[in-house]
Chain A
Amino acid sequence: MTRLRVFGSLMLALLRELSDENAYQRYLAAKQREHSAEEWRKFSEARLREKYFRPKCC
């Protein structure tokens, strides 16, 4: 049961990583800011600019 819970939390963490939600939390923590629509937009723009500067795998 514990292993199943660990697996579940790992999967959720992976989904949050893939969705950039973890990265956003890290961004807020590093900048010591609170979540707001404006803050998300600022983070998202920088993140996406960087993401789509690199080739995507085939």
Chain B
Amino acid sequence: MPLMTSEPAARSGKLKRFLGHLIWVLVAIVAAFCLAAIALNRGEHINSAWLVLAAVCTYLVGFRFYARFIARRVMALDNQRATPAERLENGHDFEPTNKWILFGHHFAAIAGPGPLVGPVLAAQFGYLPGTLWIIIGAVVGGAVQDFVILFASMRRDGKSLGQMAREEIGKLGGFVALLTVLLIMIILLAVVALVVVNALAGSPWGTFTIAATMPIALFMGWYLRYWRPGKVLECSAIGFVLVLSAIFAGQWVAQSPAWAPVFTLSPLALAFAITLYGFLASALPVWLLLAPRDYLSTFVKLGVIFLLAAGIVFVRPELELPAFTRFTDGNGPIFAGKIFPFCFITIACGAISGFHSLISSGTTPKMITKEWHAWPVGYGAMLLESFVAVMAMIAACVMHPGVYFAVNSPAGIVGGTPAAAVATISSWGFPVSAAEMQQLAHNVGEQTLFYRTGGAPSLALGMAHIFAHSGGGQAVIGFWYHFAIMFEALFILTVIDAGTRVGRFMLQDVLGHVHPALGRTSWMPGVLMTSSAVVLAWGYFLYQGVRDPLGGINSLWPLFGIANQLLAAIALCVATTILIKMHRARYIWITGLPLLWLVTVTFTAAWQKIFSPVPRIGFLAQARQLQAALESGAVTGAKIAETQALIFNARLDAVVCGVFMILVAIILIDSLRIWAGIFAGSRTSQVVEAPFVLSRLTTEEA
């Protein structure tokens, strides 16, 4: 009898397995078909649904097979092993957390402005190079990095990347990691501040909305601390309603003859205002300004990402930009340089971002309930981040190419008047007229949309286009444009204020070794001094970007991309060292190949940025060209001092780029020395994991 009942059960089990395999084969075929379709399509507009399907199916295959293989074979995740959240639970930072809540928490922490801005800038090559890099780079590089670092930190009681670098590679590695993070942050803060400046310059509507978020944040701070302590969700909901009201009020301000001039600021004035804001946010009590903005920004960020995804699925817009543009030759107006290596450093966060390794070795490993939760949290959250980058690429590509280039090109490249700009852009084969640009600016409530470099305005235009087509049409496009600008600026200003504060702490940490009082975070003279130093450092690069006739993005964004990818190289060095020490040397290609790719890309890009003979690419060539102009007498009067400053800036950028290369080369050589020692048998390969403790939590509890 038992044989009689088990046979149908076995047959049903086999059928289920077969169907399961069949579904995955279908998903893989759809992924391959869609990737081939977007890669081979030429000359015709392609629907954004192809990109969405290609991305989602590739992510599913990568998550189900590649990430699972890494989890089972390489890292040997074990749910029987108690995680730090269980062993060290303290009701504070170590806390077993539901995996989907932790997924959302981790995603909110890794999602910054990078995956939104990078793809918009890289769209100058066409939609194809950036899209392929975002999808493939995330599956085999970025998500692997986040996953392995999360695993390593989880097995080491939630240690940070710096601590792991110190323990696994050496003291030098730890120090270099700290220094690299500090330097990257300075460049990052300058470049994202420049994005905000370029989005708000000459825009009274946008400037008023963002200015209004300051008193709103102060109100929220008081509300949370004194009126309704602990009611963060309630307070954020009120803050959101006030911000929406500010967007509506902004339209009235922009149309008011009395108020519009007050909020129409030049790029330089905005740069000073943002620098002052960074200083205040760093020096003022954190509950007053920084924290309420951060809460609000997190909710707005998640809500807008969800809205954008829904809008793209609902509207399924056609991509107007071609697969490749003529700027694959390296002469792009937004930034100079060929697809290799510049596409791969321009899009960092959407494909692979070193900064994620700091989050994966921060709060998240302390909250994981079961080791297998690292699979969706570490790998899965990065895939979602990559999808955000694909959406940003779609938003950029739904614009007419002529409009895209008119918005994103600096005056120094396309000409200082609308007539000159449209003539230059049309001569590239992307027809656009001044009247068309004027009408578009009028529709979104702006005076002009020319020379709005930095990516934020064109992303806002693309988002507004998608939202308006979801309902409301042209009547609401102005609101959606300014809603998108508010979202981007709010998001970026949160990175600036939190980043300045963290930079201050890092500097205080270092200076505390020189003079102990400087290390005390409560000693006001020390706070003011270190806050000023950090703000002046990124403020200088911001000022440099604002004064740059080529728009600033051309020099600063590649510098940031190189720095971020070099941090990823450091994380992958640590990850590879750990795999070797775990006796998983036969799997080192998993982290080794992305590492090799990143080192090749970033060192090539850094080398070209320093030594390329083309002035728009090479910093030193740019300095030489300006120097020659100065010596020949072509530059006169007031322009002499400005040119001297530009020469100094170009040389400074070259030095910063060189320093990044040297720092990462040090870690790379140090790692290679350790790997060679282990392979040669002259060095022991001891893993420094926390000891095994049997988990008491059942899977149901987890």
- The total of Cβ contacts below 8 Å across the A-B interface reads 116
Inter-subunit contact A19/B111 (CB<8 Å): no
Inter-subunit contact B232/A54 (CB<8 Å): no
- Complex CA–CA separation, A41 to B225 (angstroms): 7
Inter-subunit contact B98/A56 (CB<8 Å): no
User: In the complex, which residues 338-392 of chain B have their Cβ closer than 8 Å to any Cβ of chain A?
Assistant: 348-349, 353, 355-356, 358-359, 362-363
Cβ-neighbour of B226 out of A15, A37, A57, A58 (below 8 A): A37
Chain A positions within 8 Å of B505 at CB level: 52-53
Inter-subunit contact B91/A27 (CB<8 Å): yes
Inter-subunit contact A41/B100 (CB<8 Å): no
Q: Given A17-B97, A20-B232, are A55 and B499 neighbors across the interface (CB < 8 Å)?
A: yes
User: In the complex, which residues 15-58 of chain A have their Cβ closer than 8 Å to any Cβ of chain B?
Assistant: 15-21, 23-24, 26-27, 29-31, 35-37, 40-41, 44-45, 48-58
In this assembly, does B69 line the interface, its C-beta being within 8 Å of a C-beta of chain A?
no
Q: Given A18-B104, A44-B287, are A57 and B355 neighbors across the interface (CB < 8 Å)?
A: yes
Inter-subunit contact B111/A57 (CB<8 Å): yes
- Complex CA–CA separation, A6 to B100 (angstroms): 12
Cβ-neighbour of B100 out of A10, A36, A49, A50 (below 8 A): A10
- Complex CA–CA separation, A52 to B295 (angstroms): 13
- Complex CA–CA separation, A36 to B224 (angstroms): 12
Q: Given A54-B362, A55-B502, are A40 and B230 neighbors across the interface (CB < 8 Å)?
A: yes
In this assembly, does B594 line the interface, its C-beta being within 8 Å of a C-beta of chain A?
no
Chain B positions within 8 Å of A27 at CB level: 91-92
- Complex CA–CA separation, A13 to B360 (angstroms): 21
Cβ-neighbour of B101 out of A13, A49, A50 (below 8 A): A13
In this assembly, does B507 line the interface, its C-beta being within 8 Å of a C-beta of chain A?
no
Cβ-neighbour of B502 out of A14, A17, A52 (below 8 A): A52
Chain A positions within 8 Å of B90 at CB level: 30
- Complex CA–CA separation, A47 to B561 (angstroms): 31
Inter-subunit contact B298/A18 (CB<8 Å): yes
Cβ-neighbour of A17 out of B104, B188, B356, B494 (below 8 A): B104
Residue of B nearest to A7 (CB): B100
Cβ proximity bits B88-124 to A, threshold 8 Å, 1 near / 0 not = 0011110101101100110011111110000000000
- Complex CA–CA separation, A30 to B90 (angstroms): 7
Most buried by B among A36, A49, A53, A58: A58
Inter-subunit contact A19/B295 (CB<8 Å): yes
Residue of B nearest to A19 (CB): B232
User: In the complex, which residues 486-537 of chain B have their Cβ closer than 8 Å to any Cβ of chain A?
Assistant: 494-495, 498-499, 501-502, 505, 521
Chain B positions within 8 Å of A44 at CB level: 224-225, 229, 287, 291
Cβ-neighbour of A56 out of B225, B348, B494 (below 8 A): B494
Inter-subunit contact B353/A52 (CB<8 Å): no
Smallest distance from the beta carbon of A37 to chain B beta carbons, Å? 4
Main secondary structure of the interface of A (DSSP, over half): helix
Inter-subunit contact B502/A56 (CB<8 Å): yes
Chain A positions within 8 Å of B355 at CB level: 55, 57-58
Q: Given A10-B101, A57-B353, A58-B113, are A24 and B502 neighbors across the interface (CB < 8 Å)?
A: no
In this assembly, does B602 line the interface, its C-beta being within 8 Å of a C-beta of chain A?
no
- Complex CA–CA separation, A31 to B521 (angstroms): 26
- Complex CA–CA separation, A29 to B90 (angstroms): 10
- Complex CA–CA separation, A41 to B505 (angstroms): 22
Inter-subunit contact B112/A57 (CB<8 Å): yes
Q: Given A19-B233, A37-B226, are A57 and B93 neighbors across the interface (CB < 8 Å)?
A: no
- Complex CA–CA separation, A35 to B564 (angstroms): 42
Chain B positions within 8 Å of A40 at CB level: 229-230
Cβ proximity bits B118-141 to A, threshold 8 Å, 1 near / 0 not = 000000000000000000000000
Inter-subunit contact B230/A24 (CB<8 Å): yes
Chain A positions within 8 Å of B614 at CB level: none
Inter-subunit contact A53/B502 (CB<8 Å): yes
Inter-subunit contact B230/A14 (CB<8 Å): no
- Complex CA–CA separation, A54 to B366 (angstroms): 14
Inter-subunit contact A48/B291 (CB<8 Å): yes
Residue of A nearest to B104 (CB): A14
Cβ proximity bits B609-632 to A, threshold 8 Å, 1 near / 0 not = 000000000000000000000000
Cβ-neighbour of B358 out of A26, A35, A57 (below 8 A): A57
- Complex CA–CA separation, A53 to B564 (angstroms): 19
- Complex CA–CA separation, A14 to B501 (angstroms): 26
Chain A positions within 8 Å of B114 at CB level: 57-58
Inter-subunit contact A55/B110 (CB<8 Å): no
Cβ proximity bits B184-211 to A, threshold 8 Å, 1 near / 0 not = 0100100010000000000000000000
Inter-subunit contact B185/A55 (CB<8 Å): yes
Inter-subunit contact A57/B501 (CB<8 Å): no
In this assembly, does B181 line the interface, its C-beta being within 8 Å of a C-beta of chain A?
yes
- Complex CA–CA separation, A50 to B97 (angstroms): 19
Inter-subunit contact A26/B95 (CB<8 Å): yes
Cβ-neighbour of A13 out of B92, B98, B560 (below 8 A): B98
- Complex CA–CA separation, A23 to B287 (angstroms): 16
Inter-subunit contact B232/A26 (CB<8 Å): no
User: In the complex, which residues 47-98 of chain B have their Cβ closer than 8 Å to any Cβ of chain A?
Assistant: 90-93, 95, 97-98
Excluding A14-B105, A57-B112, A57-B114, 7 further A-B contacts by CB distance (< 8 Å) are A18-B104, A21-B230, A30-B90, A48-B291, A54-B363, A56-B498, A58-B355
Can you spell out 30 A-B residue pairs with CB atoms less than 8 angstroms apart?
A10-B98, A13-B98, A14-B105, A16-B233, A18-B295, A19-B295, A19-B299, A20-B295, A21-B232, A23-B95, A26-B91, A26-B92, A26-B95, A29-B91, A40-B230, A44-B229, A44-B291, A48-B286, A49-B286, A49-B521, A51-B291, A52-B286, A53-B502, A53-B505, A55-B499, A56-B494, A56-B502, A57-B355, A57-B359, A58-B564
Across the A-B interface, the 9 shortest Cβ-Cβ residue pairs: A30-B91, A19-B232, A40-B229, A14-B104, A56-B498, A37-B229, A40-B230, A58-B112, A58-B114
